[in-house]
Structure 1
Amino acid sequence: MFIVPRVGPLLLFVLLAQLASAAELRVPENYVTLQAAIDAAAAGDTVVVEPGTYTERVVLKANVTLRSEGDDLQGKLGLKRAEATIIDGGKEQGSGAGVEMAEGATLDGFTIRNVGIYDDNEWKTHHASQGDNQLYEHIGAPGVVGIAAVGATCEIRNNIVYHIGDSGIGIVGVEGKMCSPLVENNVCYRNMGAGIGSMNGSRATIRGNTCFENFYAGIGHSSASPLVVNNVCYGNVRAGIGISDDSSPEVRRNKCYRNRRAGIGVRTGSDTRPLIEDNDCYENEMAGIGVSENAAPTIRKNRCYRNKLAGIGVRTRATPRIIENECFENEESGIGQMGGTETVLIGNYLHQNNRSGIGFASGKDGKSHVENNRVIDNALVAVGINPGWTVDLVGNELSRKDGLPPIVMVFAGSVATFKQNVIRGGGVAGIRVAGTVVAANNRFHGTALRKVGPPNFAIWGLKGSTVVMTDNEVTGWRHALHSAEGHVNARRNSARKFHRAVFVIEKPASEPIVSENEATTASPSDQICLIDNKPSREDANKLIRSDQR
């Protein structure tokens, strides 16, 4: 049984009075201008506007709705009624925003254009240079926008905003006032700021908008933390979504593609800590997701592919947590990191990238923890660690089906620790070392043992390298370790399916330690260790003939 709640006589009277007093004011039938109708409206009223071009700038009143006439049929770019009902700011002729929102007000279904000066030549110049010469101080600065929501909880829906001298839609918080505007289903393009700019503590919901070819970001943040969900941002001069200056938005389920810089760009300060989750970033001119300048985002469960640089790129002292993303078919790395950054990479799937799955570029003081990632079938290396890095790799799968390069390359001036990884494939080495490698409890599975020709070593130590191997399982490589003019400590490793010797050491730089290792072989001539082509002393190593098993 449906029960109607009881309402007191006074409350019922107020509700009925509000319903009775809500009016519909029509433009131009009742009022010639939009502003005249708004000025005449009371709280709860709706101003309905017939199709046409209205050359004015308007200021809404609290709890008043300004709506274009018609239904919600889709047109070429936005709703048909929005395309047909135009608020023209007159370029330089007016002052203030095209539409200034108020508390509780709604703007629904208009085209807003020509507020300030749109400069097509300047747009083209900076588009060609990927925004390299833009005045970055302009980002986050107040300006005259197409639609302004300053300290107001309001609704901005179904509008088309273009050719604005600043941002298309500007959302600004006010200190000491909690406001949460809804910005939904708008189209913002070819504006001289961001498509949508969120600033100064704004906590808006920005949902289902399309922002393209704007002078800065499609959706930009400066000291703001909105919810940004289900938007499409493409072809913008900078990032599809730009996050800076202590902003911590939640950025979920957006599509950012073919932007001139990153799909999603995060920068400026350790208090810039967004959550970037479940987005698609592809075919951008730089990284799919780019992080720089001390920013500390959490980047989780995104898909970054076919970008011109890395799927996820990190530089200039950034400290992101990068978790469970899929990065593939990028021109450079799946995840690429510059020196001086400190990263955590957990559970990512990195495959079919045109250089490395995970790349660590040369620099100073780089640190990374790399755990439980699946890094397979990248064109050159699964992991490349250049000088200046200290990297811990734990529990990863690092593999490539074929190809000549090593699966992992550790350059001079870097230190890498490998624990409990599976390193699988062919090529010249599982790990090629010019720096320092500590490898413990890993499984090296060679897929194409090569007895002659190019090297085929589980670990290949170059001149000056240091290799510490303990408790590893090595199968199907010519040698478990080949070291020339390096430092070697190899203990308690096991090997099968090798050729001639498990360990081959040439001109050691210090007295090598090779002890307590075990190997299984069918050849009577095989050795545990050859030092300068001579069998080494036993040191408790154990060679087991396969017929003894």
Structure 2
Amino acid sequence: MEKRREEKNMGTIKYPLFGVCIAFMFLGAFAGVVSAKTIYVPDNYVKIQWAVDNASAGDTIIVRDGTYTENVDVNKRLTIQSENGPSRTIISSATGDVAFNVTADYVNISGFTIKNATGRTIIENHSFVRRAGHGILLSDVKYCDISNNTVSENNFGIFLSSSCNNMLVNNRALNNNFGIYLGSSSNSNTLMNNTANANSDCGISLYDLSNNTLLNNKALNNKYGIYLGFSSNNNTLMNNVVSNNKLGIFVFYSSNNNIFVNNVVSDNNYGISLQRRSSNNKVYLNNFINNTDHVTSVYLSPYSEGSANIWNSTSEIAYTYNGKTYTSYLGNYWDDYIDRDDEKDGIGDHPYLPVDSDKDKDYYPLIEPFENYFTPSENISAVRQPENPYPIGEEREKKKIPGFELALVISGLLATVYLLRVKG
């Protein structure tokens, strides 16, 4: 009896202890969430790197006004932001190497001027031997948010290496060699509302990657405005302004199946060039205005006999022109297109030849710039993470942006994109 009573008492003790253990487990989990703290530089730590080293994943580091000469390695999930914006908070690379080197997922960096990363990057056999000269470098990471920064006087302003599903929003890349550079296998990123201005080589570069989206960006006064090269496939460029570059949009070396829609390409020496077996790209509902040559394939031969790209929509589109509604395929607006429009539907009666090739024709050239063609207002829609966020019937993979709502409001052929940060 004594023994049985002892066993029973021991049993009654086990369950409360188990419950206490569970309770501590839950408390520990909540403590991990609640304990996220805010660290101030230079109040708590004089250097940003010291703040990063002493932070825990999920913390926020706020950097007060001033110039900080250092190279910051970010290897944990953090939010690093200036207190008062890029004009008052400057990060100057200490050695010419990477100013912000990000190697962790879910890192947010915003509100800085980042400069003087001028060191030389060495690549051998498609691998980095030395990484240097980057204002912000994302290496093998995902779900990072780089926003509201000014990167200037660097070799590379913002550089993504094998990094996917990141957001670059409202950044300015000025007076670098390369403004914003997405390197090999950096797929499914979104670049929105960025300005790449006066970079000596490329404003925005995409190199050997796929499924990236460029929305509402400006590429101005660069050698190459936007560059897609070396098998950069299935990317979408929409609502961008590409102006005053030597070459506006350069599609190079087997870069295929990209979509260019609702872009304004103006005042460049060459508006767009598709070269070296770059084919099946869809170019429509763009404005080509005041370029010395709207389209060039001057370097195409002898690598290919023609680019065989598509210069009008591949499905019919409902639109309104001069108060009347029509349904038709639609091409681009070319300011040097002079022909009749006997049906008064806003579409020229004869094709426009962008280059001297029978493979490349705009069969439905627009008489006026694309913004003068609208569909009825009942087609306006606002959606969260739309299955097909692109108008005019083009298919693209669903965009998933953690922590954000991407709302695309479409009114006919015009699209407005809103990026809404989700609380919590």
For the criterion TM > 0.5, the same-fold answer is yes
| Alpha-carbon distance in 2 for matches of 1:103, 1:232 | 27
Give 2:146's aligned amino acid: I
Aligned to 1:291: 274
Change (3 A) 1:369 1:64: closer
Cα shift at 1:286: 1.4
Higher strand proportion: 1
Aligned to 2:250: 265
Aligned to 2:66: 52
1:148 matched to 2:137? The reply is yes
Aligned to 1:97: 98
1:276 matched to 2:260? The reply is yes
Change (3 A) 1:376 1:115: closer
Helix, strand or coil at the partner of 1:115: coil
Contact 1:213 1:234 in 2 (8 A): yes
Contact 2:118 2:132 in 1 (8 A): no
Aligned to 2:87: 83
Aligned to 2:181: 197
| Alpha-carbon distance in 2 for matches of 1:375, 1:187 | 33
1:157 matched to 2:157? The reply is no
The 5 A counterparts of 1:392-411 are none
Change (3 A) 1:290 1:42: same
Helix, strand or coil at the partner of 2:151: strand
Q: Which has the higher contact order (CA 8 A, sep 6+)?
A: 2
Cα shift at 1:202: 0.5
| Alpha-carbon distance in 1 for matches of 2:227, 2:167 | 19
Question: Which one of 323, 330, 333 corresponds to residue 327 of structure 1?
Answer: 333
Helix, strand or coil at the partner of 2:228: strand
Give 1:157's aligned amino acid: S
Cα shift at 1:320: 1.0
| Alpha-carbon distance in 2 for matches of 1:374, 1:95 | 49
Identity of aligned residues (%): 25
Change (3 A) 1:14 1:209: farther
Change (3 A) 1:348 1:161: farther
Gaps of 5+ in 1: 1-7, 71-80, 119-136, 335-346, 378-549
Contact 2:40 2:62 in 1 (8 A): yes
1:28 matched to 2:17? The reply is no
Cα shift at 1:325: 3.1
1:368 matched to 2:374? The reply is no
| Number of aligned residues | 305
Helix, strand or coil at the partner of 1:146: strand
| Alpha-carbon distance in 1 for matches of 2:31, 2:97 | 35
Cα shift at 1:372: 4.6
The 5 A counterparts of 1:199-348 are 199-203=183-187, 204-225=189-210, 226-238=212-224, 240-248=225-233, 249-262=235-248, 264-269=249-254, 271-287=255-271, 289-296=272-279, 297-310=281-294, 312-314=295-297, 316=300, 317=304, 318-323=307-312, 324-330=330-336
Report the TM-score when normalising by structure 2.
0.65
Report the TM-score when normalising by structure 1.
0.51
Aligned to 2:33: 19
| Alpha-carbon distance in 2 for matches of 1:105, 1:358 | 47
| Alpha-carbon distance in 1 for matches of 2:127, 2:219 | 19
Gaps of 5+ in 2: 1-21, 313-329, 339-344, 369-424
Aligned to 1:61: 75
Aligned to 1:436: none
Give 1:358's aligned amino acid: L
| Alpha-carbon distance in 2 for matches of 1:374, 1:112 | 43
What per-residue deviation string (whole Å, max 9, x for no partner) do you get for residues 4-40 of structure 1? Answer: xxxx978964663233210111100110101000100
Cα shift at 1:322: 1.0
| Alpha-carbon distance in 2 for matches of 1:253, 1:15 | 44
| Alpha-carbon distance in 2 for matches of 1:327, 1:306 | 11
| Alpha-carbon distance in 2 for matches of 1:308, 1:371 | 19
What per-residue deviation string (whole Å, max 9, x for no partner) do you get for residues 298-342 of structure 1? Answer: 2122121111112x4445232211113323324xx79xxxxxxxx
| Alpha-carbon distance in 1 for matches of 2:366, 2:214 | 30
